[in-house]
Structure 1
Amino acid sequence: MARITYIEHGGTEHVVEVANGMTVMEGARDNGIPGIEADCGGACACSTCHVYVAPDWVAKLPERDAMEEDMLDFAYEPNPERSRLTCQLKVTDALDGLVVQMPKKQI
């Protein structure tokens, strides 16, 4: 289980516990957190679960694979270092304390 902080674009924070084995996207969806639309349901076929990872977490996460890199090209204002698709971030104990911020909009 990991406590993850989701920050809406306007600054509202949501801290939730997400079970290991789920994705960061599923944690947002299952807890009704606005700002992560997840139109493709986690298939890495869109960019509507795009977030900016807190700077101190960038190096702690697994690297993006080619499919995630391709989908981030379609995201709203992607950041080359901090942008991630939450459907590609599998929750483990190592993600306890993760902080992500949603962009202004999802496209």
Structure 2
Amino acid sequence: MPTIKYVETDGTVHAVDANSGITAMEAAVKNAVPGIDGDCGGAAACATCHVYVDPDWIEKTGTAAEGLEKSMLDFAEDVRETSRLACQIAITDELDGLILRLPEKQH
């Protein structure tokens, strides 16, 4: 079971064990990680699960997909090169130790 680390802007780390096959948003919501709302339930329609993938992990997660994910990130604040929607990051065993940083605020 992979462990995902969600890091708040103040440095607080929430280490969550996540089942492979769910998304990083689902893992955060199920474990009450503050700052990940997932208002749309994972349909990439709200950008309330915006995260920054740690640069050391971007090769494994990939960058934001063209189309829907990139379009939704237009609604997020402080979008960066490593910005992703957590609902679009599928958890696999390969992502054990993944570090996702949370933005200061979500919409």
- Same fold? TM cut 0.5: yes
Secondary structure of the residue aligned to 2:48 is coil
Between the aligned partners of 1:74 and 1:59, the Cα distance in structure 2 is 24
1:14-63 Cα shifts (integer Å, max 9, x gaps)? 11110011100000000011010111111100110000110111121134
Gaps of 5+ in 2: none
1:14-33 matches, cutoff 5 A: 14-33=14-33
Q: State how 1:67-78 maps to structure 2 within 5 Å.
A: 67-78=68-79
Q: Give, in whole Å, the separation in 1 of the partners of 2:63 and 2:86.
A: 13
Q: What does 1:50-65 align with in structure 2 at a 5 Å threshold?
A: 50-65=50-65
CA drift at 1:10: 1.6
- Match of residue 7 from structure 1: 7
Return the alpha-carbon distance in structure 2 between the equivalents of residues 27 and 8 of structure 1: 15
Tell me which amino acid in the other structure corresponds to 1:3. Answer: T
TM-score by length of 1: 0.94
Map Cα deviations across residues 47-90 of structure 1 (whole Å, 9 max, x no partner).
100001101111211343211011011111100x2100000001
The answer as to whether partners of 2:63 and 2:84 remain within 8 angstroms in 1 is: no
What SS class does the counterpart of residue 36 from structure 1 fall into? coil
> What is the CA–CA distance in structure 2 between the aligned matches of 1:27 and 1:41, rounded to whole Å?
12
Q: Supply the distance in 1 between the matched residues of 2:91 and 2:59 (Cα, whole angstroms).
A: 16
Extract structure 1 runs of 4+ deviating beyond 6 A: none
**Distance (Å, rounded) in 2 between the aligned partners of 1:33 and 1:86:** 12
**CA-based RMSD:** 0.9
> Percent identity at matched positions?
52
